[in-house]
Amino acid sequence: MADGTYVNPSGEFTRDQNYIATRITADGRDGWPVEPGRYRLVVSRACPWANRSIIVRRLLGLEDVLSMGVAGPTHDKRSWTFDLDPDGRDPVLGIERLQEAFFKRFPGYERGITVPAIVDVPTGQVVTNDFAQITIDLSLEWTAHHRPGAPQLYPEHLREEIDTVNRVVFADVNNGVYRAGFAGTQESYEKAFDRLFGRLDWLSERLERRRYLVGDTITEADVRLFTTLARFDPVYHGHFKCNRSKLTEMPVLWAYARDLFQTPGFGDTTDFDHIKRHYYEVHRDINPTGIVPKGPDLSDWMTPHGRESLGGSPFGEGTPPGPVADGEKVPAAHSPLP
């Protein structure tokens, strides 16, 4: 698969984590300086790793300085494609496949063609697809272009705790659902299953008396957990056999997820139709028919969550982002947002 996910018949799923590590920085030390209008963030709304970058870009108000290209929800073995655009080409980069930007910099690139990826518009070359570093750098290196009132998603005084939480959430939850879904043996599946739900129980305990994962405002840690929780019932519970409990049956995590979903920047960047189409249509080794389920009912995402009583404020001393930029709205039929 272009995203490097497939069943490992010998047992445990292992993610290739060797990404293009070039960074776009304020001082340009890697040769790629922060410049408004120079780069294009390429995403798919289906992908949880890409969804993180969409959320962070919106929370920080970077829409006018970092344009965004949206690939379709499905891909073939070669690459994500721009089939949502009228002529099947990204209107800024002029390419049909994200693969072209990777090959422009690394001819014959053999690793996964993954999203999110940031492409240098003048040269058409991919700069980075290091999804974990991309969102951190949007917070720390693009500060000169943040909107007034942008939140601090990676504040220095909380950074060590955020990193600690992110490590275990990635290992056991973000990637844990994949280890369960792409396990090739009963033993490796059950090991991943137990590890996943053990960590979800730990998160439930952590969030029972605090509104957010670290500190009393939204941080990078909440962004990273949210994109997995949003996909849990539509995809991971059934498709990946993560079926001890649905998200809606885990009261604390369900309320926490609804709290974030109803916060500008989270629910308004979540496309449930693209999410379901990607997993069920692309992963034919798990779902050979490619049939996409009609459920679950999404209307409950807008029900009251009651977590305001725990204190805290989503944006701290900052403000919510404004309306979604023109051309970037999730179709109404793909979301329960009013």
- The catalytically annotated residue of 178, 236, 256, 280 is 178
Q: Encode burial over 184-223: b for 16+ CB neighbours within 10 A, e otherwise.
A: beeebbebbbebbbebbeebeeebeeebbbbbebbbbbbb
Could you tell me which residues are annotated as the binding site for glutathione? 80
One-letter identity of residue 87: D
Count of CB atoms situated within 10 Å of the CB of 319: 15
User: Residue ranges of the alpha helices (H) in the chain?
Assistant: 48-60, 99-105, 131-140, 159-169, 176-181, 186-207, 220-230, 251-261, 272-282
Backbone angles phi, psi at 297, to 5 degrees: -65, 130
47: annotated active-site residue: yes
User: Residue ranges of the alpha helices (H) in 8-158?
Assistant: 48-60, 99-105, 131-140
- The catalytically annotated residue of 39, 47, 212, 280 is 47
263-230-286 Cα angle (round to 5) = 165
Residue 231, both tokens? 């996909």
Q: Encode burial over 14-34: b for 16+ CB neighbours within 10 A, e otherwise.
A: eeeeebbebbbbeeeeeebeb
Could you tell me which residues are annotated as the binding site? 80
Q: How far is 180 from 196, CA to CA, in rounded Å?
A: 8
Q: How far is 314 from 148, CA to CA, in rounded Å?
A: 15
Largest Cα–Cα separation, the chain: 55
Q: How far is 272 from 313, CA to CA, in rounded Å?
A: 26
**CB neighbour list of residue 272: distance below 8 Å, 6 or more residues apart:** 230, 234, 298, 334, 335
DSSP string, 297-326: --GGGGS---GGGG---TTTTS----SPPT
Q: How far is 151 from 55, CA to CA, in rounded Å?
A: 12
So which residues are the catalytic ones?
47, 178
